[in-house]
Amino acid sequence: MVYIRKDVSTLTVAERRRFVNALLTIKKRGEYDEFVRIHIDHYVSDGEGGLRSAHMTPSFLPWHRRFLLDLETALRRVDPAVTVPYWDWTRDRATTAVPWTKDLLGGNGRRSDHQVTTGPFAYATGDWTIRENVTDGEFLTRDLGRAGSPIALPTASDVETALRDPVYDVAPWDSTVARGFRNRLEGWGSGSGSAAWRNHNRVHRWVGGAMLSGASVNDPVFWLHHAFVDLLWTRWQSRHREHRYLPAGPPGPGSSQYRRVVARHEKLPPWDMTPSQLDDVSRIYRYA
Amino acid sequence: MAVSVDGVPVSTVPADTATPTATARSGPVRRARRRDLLRGLFGASAALAMTPVVAASRPPRPAPGGPAAFSFDETYRGRRIRGALTSWGPAAEAGAEWEVTVDGRPLHLMRRADGTWLSMVDHYRSYATPREAVRAAVDELGPGERLREDGPAHHTYTGGHHGLHP
């Protein structure tokens, strides 16, 4: 039975409550922290050796698609009615509107230390103590819009630029490529100007705090953000039906990317699944 | 200065001051170093794997830009930040490894293919130099917030291929 992932701004009061409760339940059971660890462990940068499965790589999209499915499965074990909502940051752009409300993710961090003090994920609730972190901080932090040096969320036109590119990805399949849908959406640029962080990366930066770090999964907005990124991939797929995930085959021994990226039919660590098998999710879920 | 980390000689670049980081290396830092070595040893290229040992056999070359290009030790926004280039490789890629601390605690830096640097604290953009990456990480730390003593939670990646290729 295909389930629906909804725009977070359309959730009913009951749907919001059930989504939050499912998150708090898997956090209490210790399952949530495992997701934080998996994300940290699979962050391999492209200036270093080794296989990149999650970032700076073609499989950025299928990796996070499967990661979301795993989280969603855990949530649906708690409450079968729950699905992961998406946050369309091209439309819901205010720091006080959805999803930053008290009955959903809570609001911005306070000025002094960026601690989130409102909503279900505030430290004082005792329900959301951060255990897997880069720092010794135990509370969730946010700095929406980066008050110190403000940046804006990506716009619909930024997203359109990515969607328009018919090619999924191009060699050398890393953070330096200037073409291809994958990196236009993942958002690695060059230099230190505003173009240096786009779309996906820019949203991590706009939320700030925990979302900026390697332990970004600690902020539940991670899932709403990546559900929207995943939605954009489905839009790209339906717009460019003749195009597919690249590379189709693994780069050879002469390539700088030999054994460093996951080709279409290769296993995508840590799962026993290939990007090709994650191409079509229409029998699992769809976006409303 | 050469120190032995788990039997593997490693050269450390003398900072412009004395280097208690190297002489009084704590357990966690040693582990971080070993992890970096493992990453090199299991990396894609045998040449890269040899880097730490080769580097140990010769004094560090002066880097373009003078001493600041291979070490720094300063107070930035009330935090002591230190960094030292610990190994050099023949290739630009993964050719340099930096050991970096904020108030004595290790900050894991990663290198991008374009030669820029990002840290575990600020993971979705990169900076031209390790020092800029560390300063940017300090910018993100709240008052009293410190890096974990044992480095990032579980960054145990060793550059293996997870059985992807035979």
Q: Would you call A48 an interface residue with chain B, using a CB distance cutoff of 8 Å?
A: yes
Please report the pLDDT score of residue B67 as a whole number. 54
User: What is the pLDDT of chain B when averaged over all its residues?
Assistant: 63
For residue B150, what pLDDT band results from cuts at 50, 70 and 90?
A: confident
- Closest approach of chain B CAs to the CA of A25, in angstroms? 22
Of B39, B114, B145, the CB nearest to A135: B145
Dist CA A93 CA A99 (whole Å): 10
**Among the listed residues B97, B99, B115, the one whose alpha carbon sits nearest the alpha carbon of residue B159:** B97
Residue of B nearest to A265 (CA): B164
Kindly report each contact of residues A269-272 with a partner whose C-beta sits within 8 Å and lies 24 or more positions away, as own/partner.
A269/A42, A269/A51, A269/A53, A269/B162, A269/B164, A270/A38, A270/A42, A270/A53, A270/B162, A271/A66
pLDDT of B117 higher than 60: yes
- Closest approach of chain B CAs to the CA of A196, in angstroms? 7
Asked if A148's CB is within 8 angstroms of B43's CB, the reply is no
Which two three-digit tokens encode residue A44? 């391999």
- Closest approach of chain B CAs to the CA of A15, in angstroms? 31
Please report the pLDDT score of residue B160 as a whole number. 34
In 3-state terms, what secondary structure has residue B163? coil
Please report the pLDDT score of residue B43 as a whole number. 34
Does this model's pTM top 0.90? My answer is: no
Q: Would you call B17 an interface residue with chain A, using a CB distance cutoff of 8 Å?
A: no
Q: What's the mean pLDDT in B75-90?
A: 86
In 3-state terms, what secondary structure has residue B9? strand
Contact A81, A18 (CB under 8 A): yes
**Interface-testing mutation among A48, A53, A188, with chain B (most B C-beta atoms within 10 A):** A48
Q: Would you call A194 an interface residue with chain B, using a CB distance cutoff of 8 Å?
A: no
Is the model more confident about B151 or about A181? A181
Q: Could you write out the DSSP letters of every residue in chain A?
A: --EEEPBGGG--HHHHHHHHHHHHHHHHTTHHHHHHHHHHHT---TTSSS--SSSSSTTHHHHHHHHHHHHHHHHHHH-TT----B--TTT---SSSTTSSTTTT--PBPTTT-BB-SSTT-GGGSS----S-SBS--S-B--TT-TTS--PPPPHHHHHHHHH---S--TT-STT-SSSHHHHHHTB--SSSGGGB-HHHHHHHHH-GGGGSTTGGGSTHHHHHHHHHHHHHHHHHHH-TT---S-SS---TTSTTTTTS--TTS--TTSS--TGGGS--TTTEEE-
Residue B110: which H helix or E strand, with range? strand B109-111
Q: Would you call B121 an interface residue with chain A, using a CB distance cutoff of 8 Å?
A: yes
- Closest approach of chain B CAs to the CA of A200, in angstroms? 9
Residue of B nearest to A142 (CA): B140
Q: Would you call A251 an interface residue with chain B, using a CB distance cutoff of 8 Å?
A: no
- Of chain A, the percentage scoring pLDDT greater than 90 comes to 95
**Among the listed residues A216, A227, A229, the one whose alpha carbon sits nearest the alpha carbon of residue A82:** A227
Asked if B123's CB is within 8 angstroms of A213's CB, the reply is yes
How many A×B Cβ pairs under 8 Å?
A: 159
Residues in chain A: 288
Please report the pLDDT score of residue B95 as a whole number. 56
Cα angle at A220 between A33 and A154, to 5 degrees? Answer: 135
Kindly report each contact of residues A74-79 with a partner whose C-beta sits within 8 Å and lies 24 or more positions away, as own/partner.
A74/A26, A74/A31, A74/A32, A74/A35, A75/A19, A75/A22, A75/A23, A75/A26, A76/A22, A78/A21, A78/A22, A78/A25, A78/A26, A79/A18, A79/A21, A79/A22
Residue of A nearest to B43 (CA): A49
Contact A16, A103 (CB under 8 A): yes
Residue of A nearest to B48 (CA): A49
Residue B83: which H helix or E strand, with range? strand B79-88
pLDDT digits (tens, 9 = 90+) for A81-113: 999 999 999 999 999 999 999 999 999 999 999
Q: Would you call A205 an interface residue with chain B, using a CB distance cutoff of 8 Å?
A: yes
Domains of chain A: 3-287 (1.10.1280.10)
Q: Would you call B110 an interface residue with chain A, using a CB distance cutoff of 8 Å?
A: yes
Asked if B120's CB is within 8 angstroms of A134's CB, the reply is yes
Dist CA B92 CA B113 (whole Å): 9
Asked if B44's CB is within 8 angstroms of A258's CB, the reply is yes
Contact B145, A28 (CB under 8 A): no
- Closest approach of chain B CAs to the CA of A43, in angstroms? 9
Dist CA A19 CA A95 (whole Å): 21
Dist CA B88 CA B39 (whole Å): 14
Dist CA A130 CA A107 (whole Å): 17
Q: Would you call B104 an interface residue with chain A, using a CB distance cutoff of 8 Å?
A: no
Contact B81, B74 (CB under 8 A): yes
Q: Would you call B32 an interface residue with chain A, using a CB distance cutoff of 8 Å?
A: no
Determine how β-strand B71-76 pairs with β-strand B79-88: antiparallel
Residue of B nearest to A40 (CA): B155
Residue of B nearest to A146 (CA): B140
Residue-wise pLDDT tens for chain A (288 aa)?
A: 899 999 999 999 999 999 999 999 999 999 999 999 999 999 999 998 899 999 999 999 999 999 999 999 999 999 999 999 999 999 999 999 999 999 999 999 999 999 999 999 999 999 999 999 999 999 999 999 999 999 999 999 999 999 999 999 999 999 999 999 999 999 999 877 767 889 999 999 999 999 999 999 999 999 999 999 999 999 999 999 999 999 999 999 999 999 999 999 999 999 999 999 999 999 999 999
Task: Give me the amino acid identity at A125.
Answer: T
Pick the CATH number of B2-13+21-59+68-140 from 3.30.1880.10, 3.40.50.9100, 3.40.50.2300, 2.40.50.140: 3.30.1880.10
Please report the pLDDT score of residue B88 as a whole number. 64
- Closest approach of chain A CAs to the CA of B21, in angstroms? 20
Residue of A nearest to B120 (CA): A214
Asked if B163's CB is within 8 angstroms of A256's CB, the reply is no
Asked if B123's CB is within 8 angstroms of A216's CB, the reply is yes
Cα angle at B84 between B81 and B90, to 5 degrees? Answer: 145
